[in-house]
Copies of this chain bind each other. A is one copy, B any other.
Amino acid sequence: MGVRTPKQFCSVLERPLISYTLQALQRVSWIQDIVVAVTRENMEAMRNIIQRFGHKRISLAEAGVTRHRSIFNGLKALAEDQPDCKLPKPEVVIIHDAVRPFVEEEILLRVVTAAKEHGAAGAIRPLVSTVISPSADGCLDHSLDRAKHRASEMPQAFLFDVIYEAYQQCSDYDLEFGTECLQLALKYSHTKAKLVEGPSELWKVTYKQDLYAAESMIKEKISQEICVVVNTKEEGSVGHLLKEVLKNELNCINITSTALDHTGGDIQNFLIDPCYSFICVNVVSSGLQETQKFLRKLEESCLSPLYPVVVVLVHCLDFTLVPLTQKMENLMWIRELAKEVKTKNVLLNGLLINYSQDEQKLQENLRQGASIIAALVKERSSALAGQLLVA
């Protein structure tokens, strides 16, 4: 795939891809245990990932030399007849790929429900390209009817006994050369899997372009929610103005605003979904100590290890009254503080907006400010943390 690291260990926003997949699975409360098949050489790295990103309910099994041998080892960790099995045997088991991080609870529930009824079930997608069969001399033998075929994707779900029996009876040839679990259930357990249409986000991260796509999808996901923190003494003023412009600039984004004093101990309490972007308007940007207090609250809410958190300290002032460079000089502490919090995965920036008396110019500056905020939120570039920006 043009990169040397196994793709599940490739870094996306400074976190290995497999950690996103584990996060997606452990978010689902009814999944009891997650068994990860890992090669011996990556075992230590995998343990570090689990510890660093706080993954729960994970057990490790040793990967085999082929895909099917790895899955079989994973199943053995759940089977009562295995001497070193420590996990309870489940009624249903889900089989998933480490390189499909965008799996949602809904499709998991649908394949599990179908597996309970049919014994086996798997997500499918329409074919993007026509599938053809080559002849021995590398020419077209025939092409398949796209309407009559589907791509078999993940997740798949099985009654545990159905798939475990299939693997126990599976020939060495199939363990070496087969790829499709649904086919094993059909061949060895005579179970016809139910096919469930899944979303396009289930695609398998395979090539370099897929890693790029995954990174953009993750960035988009965590940028959907923005929290604008305003100063209570300024109700109806600049923070609210900026919020309106932001809503226009970043359409479809959910913007909550709160007064700093109301956030109490846990900054996440008033937010419905976890939030990784905080725009503080004329609130804490005036003082180092208040900012440090705010950042400590953020740290206590424990968001930053999973995703980089963007914090923009916005300061609106009339550049004709206070010289810009003088104000910048007063805010130089942001540069030092940004260096410090970057180690905790917080990306801190200052933004000065020229609060012009001219209404039209003010609107223009607010728009520019909003588009700078949008870029900081969407791109989450750690190289630009600590900069003082001007609109």
A interface list, Cβ under 8 A from B = 1-2, 118, 120, 122, 124-125, 127-135, 138-140, 142-144, 146-153, 177, 179-180, 182-183, 186, 192-195, 200-201, 203-204, 206-210, 212-217, 220, 324-326, 328-329, 332, 335, 368, 371-372, 374-375, 379, 381, 383-384, 387-390
Contacts and interface: CB of A to CB of B under 8 A. Distances in A.
A326 B217 CA distance: 42
Contacts of A374: 383
Given A143-B183, A325-B328, A328-B328, A149 B133 contact: yes
Given A131-B149, A151-B129, A204-B129, A140 B381 contact: no
A122 B143 CA distance: 12
Nearest to A212: B216
A301 to B, nearest CB: 27
B138 A194 contact: yes
Contacts of A326: 325
A215 to B, nearest CB: 7
Nearest to A389: B387
A152 B180 contact: no
Contacts of A193: 139-140
Given A215-B216, A384-B389, A140 B335 contact: no
B381 A180 contact: no
Given A212-B217, A326-B325, A152 B148 contact: no
A19 B55 CA distance: 45
B203 A209 contact: yes
Given A212-B213, A379-B379, A131 B131 contact: yes
A182 B326 CA distance: 69
Given A129-B151, A374-B383, A140 B186 contact: yes
A118 B138 CA distance: 11
Contacts of A328: 325, 328
Contact of A132 (B128, B132, B180, B206): B180
The 6 closest A-B pairs by CB, nearest first: A212-B216, A375-B383, A325-B325, A213-B213, A209-B213, A129-B151
Given A209-B213, A212-B213, A389-B387, A131 B152 contact: yes
Given A131-B144, A212-B212, 14 more contacts: A2-B200, A122-B140, A130-B180, A132-B149, A132-B150, A133-B149, A138-B195, A139-B193, A143-B183, A212-B216, A325-B329, A372-B383, A384-B389, A387-B387
Nearest to A371: B383
Contacts of A182: 132, 140, 143
A150 B124 contact: no
B124 A132 contact: yes
A177 B143 CA distance: 14
A7 to B, nearest CB: 12
A389 B384 CA distance: 8
Contacts of A120: 140
A131 B127 contact: yes
Contact of A140 (B192, B208, B220, B324): B192
A188 to B, nearest CB: 14
A267 B194 CA distance: 62
15 contacts: A127-B131, A130-B151, A131-B150, A132-B150, A132-B195, A134-B148, A143-B182, A200-B207, A200-B208, A209-B213, A209-B214, A210-B213, A325-B326, A325-B329, A368-B383
